[in-house]
A and B are shown apart, each in its own frame.
Chain A
């Protein structure tokens, strides 16, 4: 009787809503997004400005400013020229008239009267400033009284002349009042040359800012170096908005009565005019939204940070989409502005939710494609999209995006897409790329950056007159953009570029008594982001040349655009098309060629040398990477498959071959130099591979015996190969430099006549089992178990991890064209800084691969240049002390695995907090242990010191990249500094070269010259192939040195063929008490015995000893003999 209700209750309970929500949350693993929320909150807390302290005295200043302006004596209207001259004479203040200034004889009248209204607007009142923003300004608008304006002032810049005069009067008054307490200057509001404003920077702060330049950056200082901007504006709704629509042409004068130009719409001018009267309406809108939606402010702050990290700002040169636009757009979305009348976003969302939703919105809206309209739109808006992006706020009749160029709209959309991608990826770290990383640098963003020299090209741009108020430079850039867009965004054949961006120079403030500085000489910066698939295309197929009128028309247009470059060609299936043939080979060069051609054709830019300078190809050129390298790598791969077939075809092998896998960088497109196949004078360096056979029970159950059996096997394979391939193949069984009998003892070198050579090692499955057993065997002695662990790790690396690694690096190299050159550049960088000796190649490859597989906040790099720059950035940012490097090679690593990897790292750090055994932790889906590539022979490779050096080098490299921008001489990144080393060994290149050649028949001891007969045909060496190299001699030499001096010295070396080795004395090896097993050569310290009567010296009689550095160096000189040319000691 009781049981039934109880049961029912349980069922009811199980379907409880909250519980189900929890369950679903657990299943979807929302931990990441929750972390994002927490991190974002933390970010807001840390950047929030404490207004009381930061703007101490700002309110008082504002009141004084207000008072000073109110005290200005109004005057009756005067002719503008006269008034300006008077002002200049009396106060030494120039009126910042927009270009062109009013003509001398004009009869415009200007007057001054008390402002109708004062108001403080902007982020100072809404309290949405962040500590890290570029400048903190308090915006004060002064509304010009209606009596000094006339309605027709909207025409021909008249309003702006009056505004400029008004500002100058205010400036002269303020200088009297505040001139001693700070600095007054003019500045363009958001870089808009129509709207100058007055800035006032209090002096005390100015000084502080000069003194403690970077202290202020770390946020230590309580007071920010704020400034006050005084912005005159028009009264709300003074000008008839109906007349200021986007299509109106309001600047008619000054254009030499050119009828055509006069009718051209002046949409920027119009919007600027509307914006003049909209300060207060927008202030109201934002206040309303703040009240309605609690998290609005925080969302705006997040937006500000996001925009700032991507280089966007309200300034025209920064893209014209800044914090204000973000806030207004978000407010409109919250208000329900879309044409159906209800809100797109709910006011109850949290700040991060709003942020995410807004990013989502931006990522799907390209303002330059289609006007984005809030409220009832007008159909004619679509017609104006050609002149720029449109965000139409019907209520206030303003195009909010009027300061944006079409390129910045595209770029904004692209950045939003990238950010959306990272926000949608639950596995990635979402916070860091979204808010912390500086993602706006051209060298990280664009594959090609070009500079247009403006001086030479201004003539070409001027043919249309100065219809655009933003100046000639702007006109030029929009033309360039149109041409390039047409050239690179060909719908039919596929887009060559993903983004074309143009960066115009920013304007700077200027003193009151001067004219604004013209940035005529500044250059335009064009950034292009390739589509890696299409950019390298050398043949463009245009429209088919057919008889129909439509086709003819199309061809005509095509020819008109491309000029003489276009030619008719016949393709398969008898189609005849207009075609463009480009002569370059790489993506970069094709792009450069196209740019030169098309800009020259349409804008007559680039005729003179130095008109266009192109950046972004220096790095590949540095290593002389070329697209033909891929072919060379493929040849090596082909040689390998020949070898594999030859081995598989051997009939008399006792076991069937299961797998023959390559394990070297040459066979995965990842070696710095492409493999050279062909006869060479020096001994060949075989490419390594491993072979495994079908499982067999015949392997002896003893590690030593297994190793010997392998030798027998290798001997057999060798002789069988030689027999089956005739004289084509030569084989050598070589012995490893093994310390233990249980390690792998031998390998087989197979040298083909063609020049390819391979090194084969045998895998035996029993070996692994035996080693595992030894590791687990608790009865064994500790050191034996340790040995077994090391051997097992080496075994697994060689036979399990390396073949897999080769496989996925090769796969990824075909998937990402830029991966292979980037890896090679990164390796070259490690070489140049003499770090390679301490890093496994695989680690470098994985670090680069991570930049490709988890490229946030960008997309996977499409050129070696960006790839390398971002690799440096990654290395600089990677906090390896607490973060594992997880490379998700398959793209489907479950969240549980990631957590497990992180937990493992935490465990390591707990066991080994000083990081003696495990330093870097690099895990992949196939290799979750995380130490396969960073621990070799039981030692951390690299050690903590070296890893820290890598980070600091990468940090300084990134800093240089950031500071120098695209003009950076990339060679600087690869200049090593030998100053840091205590000792530098200079090797003798001649002796080293001689060590590359050994012959089976020649005694190495006899000197080369003496033993060589006079005639070449008598020399037994002629025609004989030198023995393969077991290891590069300099590697061998260094291995011995670092083994002998593992205690006192740390050696640094780059590539194997490099002739300088750096070394640093281990600071831990110091003066110490004498004992029997000293870690290195020590000398007794003279005279220390006498100091013993200094009371409490240790009771130990044993004297102190010190590292005998000279003796050690002398030993190195003896070991090196002829190899070492010179040993350079720091300070000696």
Chain B
């Protein structure tokens, strides 16, 4: 097995030996790069979590748990967050994901979010979960070379893991990936079973789907109503600077954005028509038009010339094929 450096930059290198498979008989070594987690915005758990980069594409929580267990023994591993999951979570938690756009913006402007209470938020999360559509994959694949954050039991375990990595590098005895260390049946298999499972999961039970949609509509309707109420309230309440926010549903505003656009289009049409009537009306317009056309003609001629030059540069355009 080739030996590389034990550290690279501030990362410890953790080689993982990959057992051969019948379809690919070579022994391979995968390299994980590990360091203490130090995000830009520190959190409470930073000291007991490790930042991993270049994780294998088929990583699951079970895989990493087994890996940590083989390094420092069982019971140290708490959880793992993968990079793509983090992003997902971020996208889901944007508060107004399921809100009418207009209302969401108004609310944000007014700082209505501040007033939310804790328990209310928990209730919403639950509702959101009910409204979420079922996943269609038994197990996701990671992008090659992506990252994860492993949360360990305590600060000491983190230090121990790093030490164990250093030792593994010294002794050249690398932990293995997957294989027997995985708990039976806990990790859904890949391959054809995985694809079949996906096909089945893609057609969820009709009632479950209906329920999820219903939950979502209820949620959405309530939020819409809330938003409408807030908007109504804001119409009457001047803010700190004494301004009244203009919101939808006022006396003069059109009922919907669609109508507004319609009206705008009509106005533009009217303007166009007016313009049309006045073209070629005066003599100077005619003259200018003619001049423009001549200029255009000249321009096109130049363009042809230029194109010809370009063709000439690329040899062979002007030689008949043999």
A interface residues with partner B (beta carbon < 8 Å): 10, 19, 22-23, 25-26, 31, 34-35, 38-39, 42-43, 45-47, 130-132, 217-219, 305, 308-309, 435-438, 683, 697, 700-702, 704-705, 708-709, 711-712, 715, 718-719, 732-735, 737, 740-741, 745, 749, 766, 769-770, 882, 991-992, 994-995, 997-1000, 1004-1005, 1027-1030, 1033, 1036-1037, 1040, 1043-1048, 1074, 1076-1086, 1089, 1101-1103, 1105, 1108, 1110-1127
Do B318 and A1111 touch (CB < 8 A)?
no
Report B-chain residues with C-beta under 8 Å of the C-beta of A1079: 144-145
B225 in contact (CB, < 8 A): no
Report A-chain residues with C-beta under 8 Å of the C-beta of B133: 711, 735, 745
Instruction: Give B4 Cβ to nearest chain A Cβ, in Å.
Output: 4
Pick 27 A–B contacts, CB within 8 A, sort by A.
Answer: A26-B297, A35-B307, A42-B308, A43-B318, A701-B100, A712-B213, A737-B198, A991-B192, A995-B199, A1004-B193, A1074-B11, A1074-B33, A1081-B144, A1081-B145, A1082-B145, A1089-B5, A1102-B8, A1108-B31, A1110-B26, A1114-B26, A1117-B23, A1121-B189, A1121-B190, A1123-B192, A1123-B195, A1124-B191, A1127-B23
With contacts A46-B319, A438-B322, A1081-B54 taken as known, whether A697 is within 8 angstroms of B8 at the C-beta atoms is: no
Report B-chain residues with C-beta under 8 Å of the C-beta of A1005: 188-189, 193, 197
Instruction: Give A898 Cβ to nearest chain B Cβ, in Å.
Output: 12
B238 in contact (CB, < 8 A): no
Of the candidates A26, A1033, A1080, A1085, which one forms a contact with B195 in the assembled complex, judged by CB atoms under 8 Å apart? A1033
B141 in contact (CB, < 8 A): yes
| A712 vs B145: C-alpha distance when bound (angstroms) | 39
With contacts A26-B296, A47-B320, A132-B320 taken as known, whether A1036 is within 8 angstroms of B198 at the C-beta atoms is: yes
Do A995 and B145 touch (CB < 8 A)?
no
Report A-chain residues with C-beta under 8 Å of the C-beta of B100: 700-702, 705
Do A1030 and B199 touch (CB < 8 A)?
yes
Report B-chain residues with C-beta under 8 Å of the C-beta of A766: 258
Do A701 and B192 touch (CB < 8 A)?
no
Do B192 and A1047 touch (CB < 8 A)?
no
Do A1120 and B312 touch (CB < 8 A)?
no
| A1115 vs B16: C-alpha distance when bound (angstroms) | 12
B102 in contact (CB, < 8 A): yes
Binds A, one of B117-125, B203-211, B271-279: B203-211
Do B294 and A1047 touch (CB < 8 A)?
no
Which residues 1-57 in B have Cβ within 8 Å of A in the complex?
A: 2-5, 8-9, 11, 13, 18, 20-21, 23-24, 26-31, 33, 53-54, 56-57
Which residues 56-107 in B have Cβ within 8 Å of A in the complex?
A: 56-58, 91, 97-102
B264 in contact (CB, < 8 A): no
Nearest A residue to B220 via CB reads A705
B160 in contact (CB, < 8 A): no
| A769 vs B262: C-alpha distance when bound (angstroms) | 12
| A287 vs B95: C-alpha distance when bound (angstroms) | 90
Do B199 and A715 touch (CB < 8 A)?
no
| A1081 vs B53: C-alpha distance when bound (angstroms) | 9
Of the candidates B9, B301, B320, which one forms a contact with A308 in the assembled complex, judged by CB atoms under 8 Å apart? B320
Report A-chain residues with C-beta under 8 Å of the C-beta of B147: 1076-1077
Nearest B residue to A993 via CB reads B192
| A356 vs B20: C-alpha distance when bound (angstroms) | 71
Nearest B residue to A1006 via CB reads B193
| A741 vs B310: C-alpha distance when bound (angstroms) | 48
Do B312 and A1044 touch (CB < 8 A)?
no
Do A733 and B18 touch (CB < 8 A)?
no
B317 in contact (CB, < 8 A): yes
Nearest B residue to A879 via CB reads B314
For A711, A737, A1103, A1115, which residue has the most chain B Cβ atoms within 10 angstroms?
A: A1115
Report B-chain residues with C-beta under 8 Å of the C-beta of A1030: 198-199, 202-203
Instruction: Give A160 Cβ to nearest chain B Cβ, in Å.
Output: 35
Report A-chain residues with C-beta under 8 Å of the C-beta of B172: none
| A1043 vs B137: C-alpha distance when bound (angstroms) | 15
B269 in contact (CB, < 8 A): no
| A821 vs B91: C-alpha distance when bound (angstroms) | 47
Which residues 301-317 in B have Cβ within 8 Å of A in the complex?
A: 301, 304-305, 307-308, 310-312, 317
B280 in contact (CB, < 8 A): no
Nearest A residue to B134 via CB reads A735
Across the A-B interface, the 7 shortest Cβ-Cβ residue pairs:
A1121-B191, A1004-B196, A1117-B24, A1110-B28, A1084-B4, A1114-B28, A46-B318
Do B322 and A217 touch (CB < 8 A)?
yes
B216 in contact (CB, < 8 A): yes
Do A683 and B21 touch (CB < 8 A)?
no
Instruction: Give A680 Cβ to nearest chain B Cβ, in Å.
Output: 15
Nearest B residue to A1124 via CB reads B23
Of the candidates A1084, A1101, A1123, which one forms a contact with B191 in the assembled complex, judged by CB atoms under 8 Å apart? A1123
With contacts A1081-B54, A1102-B9 taken as known, whether A998 is within 8 angstroms of B199 at the C-beta atoms is: yes
For B213, B224, B257, B310, which residue has the most chain A Cβ atoms within 10 angstroms?
A: B213
Do A715 and B209 touch (CB < 8 A)?
yes
Of the candidates A435, A704, A712, A1116, which one forms a contact with B98 in the assembled complex, judged by CB atoms under 8 Å apart? A704
Instruction: Give A20 Cβ to nearest chain B Cβ, in Å.
Output: 10
With contacts A1086-B3, A1121-B189 taken as known, whether A1114 is within 8 angstroms of B18 at the C-beta atoms is: yes
Report A-chain residues with C-beta under 8 Å of the C-beta of B97: 704, 741
Report B-chain residues with C-beta under 8 Å of the C-beta of A218: 319
Report A-chain residues with C-beta under 8 Å of the C-beta of B156: none
Instruction: Give B86 Cβ to nearest chain A Cβ, in Å.
Output: 13
Report A-chain residues with C-beta under 8 Å of the C-beta of B297: 22, 25-26
Report B-chain residues with C-beta under 8 Å of the C-beta of A438: 320-322
| A1070 vs B294: C-alpha distance when bound (angstroms) | 55
Report A-chain residues with C-beta under 8 Å of the C-beta of B256: 697, 701
Instruction: Give A439 Cβ to nearest chain B Cβ, in Å.
Output: 9
Report B-chain residues with C-beta under 8 Å of the C-beta of A23: 290, 293
Do B53 and A1083 touch (CB < 8 A)?
no
Do A1048 and B53 touch (CB < 8 A)?
no
Nearest A residue to B26 via CB reads A1110
Report A-chain residues with C-beta under 8 Å of the C-beta of B21: 1114, 1117-1118
Do B4 and A1086 touch (CB < 8 A)?
yes
Of the candidates A309, A712, A994, A1105, which one forms a contact with B192 in the assembled complex, judged by CB atoms under 8 Å apart? A994
Instruction: Give B261 Cβ to nearest chain A Cβ, in Å.
Output: 8
B300 in contact (CB, < 8 A): yes
B217 in contact (CB, < 8 A): yes
Do A1118 and B31 touch (CB < 8 A)?
no
Instruction: Give A441 Cβ to nearest chain B Cβ, in Å.
Output: 10
Q: Kindly list 9 other residue pairs between chains A and B, CB separation below 8 angstroms, not including A46-B319, A218-B319, A1085-B4.
A: A38-B308, A45-B318, A132-B322, A702-B220, A1005-B188, A1033-B192, A1101-B9, A1110-B28, A1113-B26
B143 in contact (CB, < 8 A): yes
| A1047 vs B144: C-alpha distance when bound (angstroms) | 8
Instruction: Give B106 Cβ to nearest chain A Cβ, in Å.
Output: 13
For A732, A994, A1045, A1121, which residue has the most chain B Cβ atoms within 10 angstroms?
A: A1121
> Per-residue 0/1 for B173-202: is the Cβ within 8 Å of any A Cβ (1 yes, 0 no)?
000001000000000111111111111111
| A78 vs B303: C-alpha distance when bound (angstroms) | 72
Do A1081 and B193 touch (CB < 8 A)?
no
Instruction: Give B255 Cβ to nearest chain A Cβ, in Å.
Output: 9
Nearest B residue to A994 via CB reads B192
Do A683 and B209 touch (CB < 8 A)?
no
With contacts A34-B304, A697-B256 taken as known, whether A1045 is within 8 angstroms of B9 at the C-beta atoms is: no
> Per-residue 0/1 for B216-245: is the Cβ within 8 Å of any A Cβ (1 yes, 0 no)?
110010001000000000000000000000
Of the candidates A769, A995, A1082, A1113, which one forms a contact with B24 in the assembled complex, judged by CB atoms under 8 Å apart? A1113
| A1102 vs B23: C-alpha distance when bound (angstroms) | 35
Nearest B residue to A766 via CB reads B258
Do A1119 and B141 touch (CB < 8 A)?
yes
For B27, B178, B209, which residue has the most chain A Cβ atoms within 10 angstroms?
A: B209
Of the candidates A38, A1076, A1102, which one forms a contact with B53 in the assembled complex, judged by CB atoms under 8 Å apart? A1076
Report B-chain residues with C-beta under 8 Å of the C-beta of A749: 203
Do A1037 and B195 touch (CB < 8 A)?
yes
Do B192 and A708 touch (CB < 8 A)?
no
Report A-chain residues with C-beta under 8 Å of the C-beta of B28: 1108, 1110-1111, 1113-1114
